[in-house]
Amino acid sequence: MMKLPVGLFCLFLAVHATAGPVSGSGQVQSTDTARFVSPFHEKNEICFKCHGQDRYEYSNENLGTVVKDIMCTDRIIGRDGFYGSNHRSFACTDCHSADYAVFPHPGELRMELKYNCLDCHGGDEAFATYSFEEIDAEYRESVHYRLEEYGFTCWSCHDPHSYMIKTRNSSNLRETILYDNNICMKCHSDLSRIRLMAEEGEADIVNKHDWLPNQASHFRSVRCIECHTRISDSILVAHQIMKKEEAVKLCNECHSQNSLLMASLYKFKSKEQRRDGFLNGIILNESYVIGANRNKYLNILSIVIFIAVFAVIGVHIVFRIIRK
């Protein structure tokens, strides 16, 4: 583990002060970001002056002219996205070298070592709820981990400048699904990004999933990770991405009373609410899951009624025979 600089220690203090209350599901409660004002707003504006827009300009002292240029897409950091993210309380130089204050930036800064999640969140009781160590252990078993030699990191999925984790509930479930799936699609729908990690690759998600019935409905109603990760009860969101050959393909793994979705997508609901799969007020409003509204007591009652009906019919037949 690398030794953290003083600036990053200040970053820890900022997180503890502004991360917000933690919900019962282990996620940060969403807070009002409209009124939030960063203590580093003016300092950050030095960076946002260029990186907060798609074009920038600077004075070329050698030529005595003002040069306008287009900012590389991957280097554009939206102000709204940043100040609405979990890292909104940070100064840019908490994570990036203070040498970036010099423009033009020194070329060697391109090789600057970036922090990973555990550098900030590991071994700290304040973040124990999120199980970062367990997440890291799962990630190391993931198919993504072997791509690290090509530059894959935590930030490949979780952009530190815009990532926002919110409380998942029945009212914002569609929003959660869209947000999480867009993280996957950022690379898996962009052939140029895939080719950065693998010489051979495809970005045609629709054709890759042509075996999936009601494909459009599935894409809207579940997250990619529901089928492509190994479900874990110890952490909130599974991070062990499986090989494509091991992905879920059997209908009954989700469309059943003991659905995998109960342990992943609908994990925010308490065990009491999930008992016996009686989720008709939750799941059926989002998507149709066979057996989701089954209840063992209703099953027993329906069997009793069924037997009683046949018993009445039998008694009626017997009396007719006797009278005849």
Which uninterrupted H or E stretch holds 313?
Answer: helix 296-323
pLDDT digits (tens, 9 = 90+) for 286-319: 444 555 555 677 778 999 999 999 999 999 999 9
With CA atoms as reference, report the closest residue to 233 among 320, 134, 133: 134
In the prediction, which pLDDT does 262 show? 79
**Cβ(18)–Cβ(89) below 8 Å:** yes
Which sign, positive or negative, has the C-alpha torsion 185, 191, 196, 201?
A: positive
Structure tokens at 54: 């798609």
SS3 24: coil
Gap between the Cα atoms of 273 and 83, Å rounded: 35
Gap between the Cα atoms of 120 and 8, Å rounded: 8
Within 10 angstroms of residue 31's Cβ, the number of other Cβ atoms is 15
Residue 277: C-alpha distances to residues 170, 224, 281 (Å): 16, 22, 11
pTM, rounded to two decimals: 0.69
DSSP state of 25: T
pLDDT digits (tens, 9 = 90+) for 194-247: 888 876 667 788 888 988 988 988 998 899 999 999 988 778 888 999 998 899
**Cβ(86)–Cβ(95) below 8 Å:** no
